[in-house]
Amino acid sequence: MRDMRLLIRRLAGEGITVLLSSHQLPEVQELCDRVAIVNTGRVVYEGALADLRRQGGVGYQLRTTDDTGALGIAIAQEGVDHAHAAEHGIAFEADEQHVAGLSLALGRAGIAILTLTPELATLEDLFFRLTGAGASAGEDTPPPATERTLEAAAPSAPAPLVESQ
């Protein structure tokens, strides 16, 4: 598999269009720069993978000198969503403007930020969000990889297809 990745990158680097078909979404995310996602015969996204990941929203991991106090401030902060205690600090979702506001609010409260790490959604997260796969009857787990098909392109290639079945 390593040799195949190297070959794909080399060919794309030479300006050769490569069409990659795989149900391994993490592999596609690593190798491709453009994707198209199709759900029941309709294209629900086509374009740059980086743009899709940015549109998918950004989650953050936050560690402070007072995580309990910081969580209370995050919950009350406008534009900060889904704030909750995480294994190492606090997790939440927000855009950059609201993260800046949270940072200022923490500083005013005398709570220092130790780490603030953005976490973009993965291609797999976005695929299931766009296709609604795995969401029926309260089901939170995605269908097995064998129940979906993915095709994606390496750099400089036209947008490939990701099909949900």
Question: Taking the domains of the chain in order of start, what are their residue ranges?
Answer: 15-53+122-164, 57-120
Tell how far CA 38 is from the center of its chain.
18
The answer to whether the predicted template modeling score (pTM) of the entire model surpasses 0.75 is: no
Domain at 57-120, CATH from 3.30.70.980, 3.40.50.300, 3.40.50.2300, 3.40.50.12780: 3.30.70.980
Q: Is the pLDDT of residue 80 over 70?
A: yes
Higher pLDDT: 138 or 11? It is 11
What is the spatial distance between Cα 10 and Cα 8, in angstroms, rounded to a whole number?
Answer: 5
Q: Is the pLDDT of residue 157 over 80?
A: no
Task: Read off the pLDDT band of 117 (50, 70, 90).
Answer: very high
Q: Is the pLDDT of residue 69 over 80?
A: yes
Q: Is the pLDDT of residue 83 over 50?
A: yes
DSSP E strands: which ranges in the chain?
Answer: 19-21, 34-39, 42-48, 58-64, 81-86, 89-93, 113-120, 148-153, 162-164
- Dihedrals φ, ψ of 40, to 5°? 45, 50
